[in-house]
Amino acid sequence: MGVLSLKIEAIPHLYGLCVLGVLLACFYLLDAYCLTQGRLLEALPKGDD
């Protein structure tokens, strides 16, 4: 009973860690994408400011 309840309690924690990891990965990729896009935009010759 004790081991079973521990396993059941551990599942949401593992799920939460997975979700957190995915969110962090998405933010990291989005940040890297925005950085590269920004650099590309800065490298392009601007028209009229």
- Spans of all domains in the chain: 1-42
Note the pLDDT tens digit of each residue in 38-49: 887 777 777 666
| pLDDT at residue 48, as a whole number | 65
| pLDDT at residue 26, as a whole number | 96
**With bands split at pLDDT 50, 70 and 90, how would you rate the model's confidence at 22?**
very high
**Cα separations (Å) of 22 from 18, 29, 34?**
6, 10, 18
End-to-end CA distance of the chain: 70
Note the pLDDT tens digit of each residue in 23-34: 999 999 999 998
Give the integer Cα–Cα distance in Å for 30 and 23: 10
pTM of structure:
0.56
